[in-house]
Structure 1
Amino acid sequence: MPILSIDGLEKIFSSANRKEKVLKGINLEITKGEITALTGASGSGKSTLLTIAAGLQKSTAGTIIFQNEALTDMNPRQVRAIRAKKFGFVFQHAHLVPFLTVQEQLELMMDTAELKWSKDRRNEEIKSILDLVDMWGHRDSYPGTLSGGGKQRVAIARAVVHKPEMLFADEPTASLDSKRSMEVMKLLRTLSRERNITVLMVTHEEETLEYADTIVQMKDGVIGKE
């Protein structure tokens, strides 16, 4: 059974002069523990689909079922709770808090998820994930001292330290050079395989698609699987 199912999803953006239908009846199933890549030209609707699936904006029509619960039927408070506890997010830029150390970035995520872990458990989880992303040695560093690749690895660690079910990644390698892009993709694959985290990713970079289990090509608000 899929972890996330999308059925008949539509999105219309309205302005004073016109309406634009950017998603046109999307049907998609996301398999647990796999990496699904949304790709296509700019304006094809892939980022809109990602943000609606993640509960960051509402659809015009259609349903989204996450773990047998309809996100589209939930009120804003319920959706926020799902996002905080069961979802993780990584974007093109790391968006780290400049006045927090690497370890404090992760502690803040734990607080946001309202985890009832002991101090020892929290420290163990932080060390485990920072070891995985090869950033434990930078745990007391501030974002301004890190490379672009280092910041993105910390952003990924922050996104998964609370053990979410799904990771939503919007162009996670777009601001990195090719070497660091591949490092990030290998890390996402490791999280998928070893921690059973389901990844839904938007990308326009062909070389990142080799790390995906499913590729969804989008064009003009519709999709077709490869």
Structure 2
Amino acid sequence: MDVFTINEVRKTFINGEVKEEILKGINLSLKGGELTALVGASGSGKSTLLTIAAGLQPASDGQVIFEGEDMITMSPEQIRKIRASKFGFIFQFAHLVPFLTVEEQLMLMLDVSESKLKKHEQKTEVNEILRLVGMDHRKNASPSSLSGGEKQRVAIARAIIHKPKVLFADEPTASLDSKRSKDIMLLIKNLTKTLNITTLMVTHDEEMLSYADHIIKMSDGQVL
């Protein structure tokens, strides 16, 4: 079953008298338990498509259907609630809160997502997710004591702690060396399968494409 369906999505920017169409009628379907990679040159529209799908910016036209409802017609508050409770985000850099421990990073995310779990249940959930990403032994560590790969593992744990339906990954390995990149991609792929998440990833690194179930190449605002 499709979790996400993108129908004829267009994005146009107007700068004075200049009208630039960034996305030119994109159609895309995403299923649970699958990792889809968006690739293309800088300016191809892949990051714009990801941010529209994630509700971070509106489309100029078209439909973004999530769980049977069109996000284009939703209010900002409705979209905010979906992002907080049903979407997870991984970026190039981990962006961890410097004064919080690893455990506290995840507890904060549960608060943001308005988790219904009681405190002791939250701690149990945090321990389980940290075990899944191989960071349970570092739950009391501060971000400054973590390596780049460890920080990204914590960022991934934070992104999935609230059991999102969709995981958006924007260049998740760009700041890592080759070995750590492969480790992180294997982790993302395994979590996508294990937790039945719909993962949409933007990457420029062709070595990472072998981990994807689907590869979508974009050029000049269109799917090739």
Normalization by structure 2: what TM-score? 0.98
Aligned to 1:71: 71
Counterpart residue type for residue 167 of structure 1: L
Shift of 1:16: 2.7
> What SS is found at the alignment partner of 1:207?
helix
Q: In the alignment, what sits opposite 2:80? A: 80
- What stretches of structure 2 of length at least 5 have no aligned partner? none
Task: In structure 2, give the amino acid aligned to 1:187.
Answer: L
For residue 28 of structure 2, give the secondary structure of its aligned residue in structure 1.
strand
Give, as a single letter, the amino acid of the residue that structure 2 aligns with 1:198.
T
Aligned twin of 1:159: 159
Residue-by-residue CA offset, 1:96-150 (whole Å, 9 max, x unaligned): 1111111111011000010110222211110111111111111111111111111
Structure 1 unaligned segments of length 5 or more: list them.
none
1:144 equivalent in structure 2? 144
* Alignment RMSD (CA, Å): 0.9
Identify the residue that residue 22 of structure 1 maps to in structure 2: 22
Write the distance in 2 (CA, Å) between the matches of 1:29 and 1:70: 14
Equivalent position SS for 1:105 = helix
Q: What is the aligned partner in structure 2 of residue 59 from structure 1? A: 59
Q: How many Å separate the matches in 2 of 1:93 and 1:12?
A: 28
SS at match of 2:129: helix
SS in 1 for 2:179: helix
In the alignment, the residues of structure 2 paired with residue 7 and residue 112 of structure 1 have an alpha-carbon distance, to the nearest angstrom, of: 30
CA apart distance, 1:193: 1.1
Distance 1:16 1:135 in 2: 50
Q: CA deviation at 1:33?
A: 1.2
After superposing the two structures, state which structure 1 stretch, 17-26 or 100-109, moved more. Answer: 17-26
Matched residue, 1:180? 180
The number of residue pairs the alignment matches comes to 224
Q: Secondary structure at the match of 1:27?
A: strand
**Structure 1 residues 17 and 143: alpha-carbon distance in aligned structure 2, compared to 1, 3 A threshold:** farther
Q: Structure 2: how far apart are the matches of 1:116 and 1:81?
A: 14
| 3-state secondary structure, aligned to 1:125 | helix
Moved more, 15-24 or 86-95: 15-24
Q: Which residue does the alignment assign to 1:103?
A: 103
Alignment of 1:190-209 (within 5 A): 190-209=190-209
Give the superposition deviation at 1:31.
Answer: 1.3
Equivalent residue number for residue 7 of structure 2: 7
Q: Which moved more, 1:116-125 or 1:22-31?
A: 116-125
SS of equivalent residue, structure 1 residue 8: strand
Q: Which residue of 1 aligns with 2:117?
A: 117
SS at match of 2:65: strand
2:125 counterpart letter in structure 1: E
Residue aligned with 2:114, SS: coil
Distance (Å, rounded) in 2 between the aligned partners of 1:134 and 1:173? 17
Provide the residue aligned with 1:94 in structure 2. Answer: 94
Answering whether residue 35 of structure 2 is matched by residue 35 of structure 1, we say yes
Q: Secondary structure at the match of 1:191?
A: helix
CA gap of 1:17–1:141, structure 2 versus 1, over 3 A, is farther
Segment drifting more, 167-176 vs 188-197: 188-197
- Give the SS at the match of 2:2: coil
